[in-house]
Structure 1
Amino acid sequence: RGGGRPRSVMAATPPPSAPGGPEPPPTPLQYSLLLQHLVGEKRQPRAWDPAALGGIPSPPKSEEQKMVERAMESCAFKAALACVGGFVLGGAFGVFTAGIDTNVGFDPKDPYRTPTAKEVLKDMGQRGISYAKNFAIVGAMFSCTECVVESYRGKSDWKNSVISGCITGGAIGFRAGLKAGVIGCGGFAAFSAAIDYYLR
């Protein structure tokens, strides 16, 4: 009042609870601080120890193991593996198609003569070898091309299969001309895209 000193306004603080009296209300939980510790910048990285979780700790890889892994991930190994797989699959497919073909073993000069079992087996073997070679070449070309394309692009997606299928089909078809090469490129690319979509 008047010329007296201004009074300082102080916030009213709750008096401390007497012994045996009611406890003060708990401090409200700060969710922002909790989130920072859980998923924010203050989150502490947790080291997972397989031994502590009951698992078997894996020893560090030796240089020989790393060398074997690099060799198995190389394009040459993938191409060789696809070549062997294509040879086996092509041989089985050739023998199967020869087994259901009624003209196997027949001589076109004498169509009324019944072929012997030896002639039938010989024709089945020749067809199986022919299919095996073709499948092996196509498998090796496709696998090697896909590996090179994937290494160049640095990505593993459906585009690698389409590009490698087009290159493989075009290379095979160009032996019969430009039109056959274009058709082979489109056909192999579409087939590769369909297989990749089905597998993924």
Structure 2
Amino acid sequence: MAAPVRSSDASQASVSAQSTAVSGAENVHLQYSVLLDHLIGDKRQIKELNPSVMGGLPTPHKTDEQKMIERGMESCAFKATLACVGGFVLGGAFGVFTAGIDTNVGFDPKDPLKTPTAREVLRDMGQRGMSYAKNFAIVGAMFSCTECIIESHRGKSDWKNAVYSGCITGGAIGFRAGLKAGILGCGGFAAFSAAIEYYLR
């Protein structure tokens, strides 16, 4: 037959159980706070995102030639040249397209009843394509060069660079026809550049 449990022993057991539970909860809370400090707190270690450590392919160090090529490709002269070539190709294609849908291509204004030959039509298409190509190349080079200079001067890459560059380019092109044309060209080119930047960004 088991001995009866005294009330003093039961109270001591319950007190010790409560103190153990409280100390265990405090211990868990302490461990949790330490874990948070190491994960997102002040004790968090900033690790370098190295692909070789993360299991990816290691990136080789850039040579001086590669750095020089990158600097050259980021220069304003290269950007202006690239825009000039792209504008020339795009303008030539646009000129040939517009000449192809024009019904007056190849016709002689002195003799409108004469039917143009295929050579005359091709010659007029080539002349119009070359004219458009030159104009597009000049505009593209001017816009790209001024935008690069403005971006380098401001130290920011945002929509304002394109708007300023469009105003300068449009104003310079329109100023040949007078002050009013220059102001209209500045405003029109700036608005067009802002619309393109808003659509692209």
Query: Do these two structures clear the TM 0.5 threshold for a shared fold by scoring above it?
Result: yes
Matched with 2:29 is: 29
Matched with 1:10 is: none
Matched with 1:63 is: 64
Matched with 1:111 is: 112
Partners in 2 of 1:126 and 1:144 — Cα distance? 27
The one-character-per-residue Cα deviations of 1:2-35 (angstroms, maximum 9, x if unpaired) are xxxxxxxxxxxx759xxxxx9x634242465444
SS of residue paired to 2:196: helix
The one-letter code of the counterpart of 1:55 is G
1:31-180 matched pairs, under 5 angstroms: 33-180=34-181
Partners in 1 of 2:133 and 2:63 — Cα distance? 38
The one-letter code of the counterpart of 1:29 is H
The alpha-carbon deviation at position 55 of structure 1 amounts to 1.6
The one-character-per-residue Cα deviations of 1:14-65 (angstroms, maximum 9, x if unpaired) are 759xxxxx9x634242465444322232110112331233321011100000
Partners in 1 of 2:163 and 2:33 — Cα distance? 48
Partners in 2 of 1:165 and 1:136 — Cα distance? 15
Matched with 1:8 is: none
Superposed CA RMSD in Å reads: 2.2
The one-character-per-residue Cα deviations of 1:118-167 (angstroms, maximum 9, x if unpaired) are 00000000000000000000000000000000000000000000000000
Partners in 2 of 1:35 and 1:181 — Cα distance? 63
Matched with 1:189 is: 190
Partners in 1 of 2:183 and 2:34 — Cα distance? 63
Matched with 2:3 is: none
> Which sections of structure 2, spanning at least 5 residues, go unmatched?
1-14
Name the stretch that deviates more: 103-112 or 49-58.
49-58
Name the stretch that deviates more: 30-39 or 96-105.
30-39
Name the stretch that deviates more: 123-132 or 49-58.
49-58
> Which sections of structure 1, spanning at least 5 residues, go unmatched?
1-13, 17-21
Partners in 1 of 2:71 and 2:50 — Cα distance? 27
TM-score, normalised with respect to structure 2 = 0.85
Give every structure 1 segment of 4 or more consecutive aligned residues whose post-TM-superposition deviation is greater than 6 Å: none
SS of residue paired to 1:29: helix
Name the stretch that deviates more: 50-59 or 74-83.
50-59
Partners in 2 of 1:199 and 1:131 — Cα distance? 25
Partners in 2 of 1:33 and 1:174 — Cα distance? 69
Aligned length: 184
TM-score, normalised with respect to structure 1 = 0.86
Task: Give the helix-richer structure, 1 or 2.
Answer: 2
Partners in 2 of 1:76 and 1:169 — Cα distance? 20
